[in-house]
Amino acid sequence: MKKVFIFMFVVAMSFISCSKDDAIDPLVGTWTISVTEDGVFYLAELTFNSDNTGNYSIYEDGIQEESNFWTWSTSKNILTVIMDEDPTDIEDISYSISGNELTIEGQPVYTRK
């Protein structure tokens, strides 16, 4: 009987300790898009960290031209981004993920790095 109680206790604790909040958001990771225009190679890189911080960088022929940091959150298919450089700059953007492709409203498709 004691073994059954211990087994049930372990099973119950495993259900309690695993919550939906422990799941990693599928947006977490680095996403890129690249294009060559007039002989210049451009790369845009978006990074979403699991602590809800992130940044984007733009490279021109391998040289970083721009970088900004943000905090982010999601709710259903809406991505909310708050830019660190201007905390009043809050954007709610529709997005979707399909496999290794990230589509953000009004932007080209990004690929998971």
Which top CATH class is 23-112? mainly beta
* C-alpha–C-alpha distance, residues 28 and 50, integer Å: 6
Q: What is the residue-averaged pLDDT of the chain?
A: 84
9 touches 17 (CB < 8 A): no
Indicate the domain borders of the chain.
23-112
pLDDT at 68 over 70: yes
Q: Could you write out the three-class secondary structure of 19-76?
A: CHHHCCCCCCEEEEEEEEECCEEEEEEEEECCCCEEEEEEEECCEEEEEEEEEEEEEC
Confidence of residue 21 (pLDDT cuts 50, 70, 90): low
Share of the chain above pLDDT 90, in %: 72
Q: What is the pTM of this model?
A: 0.76
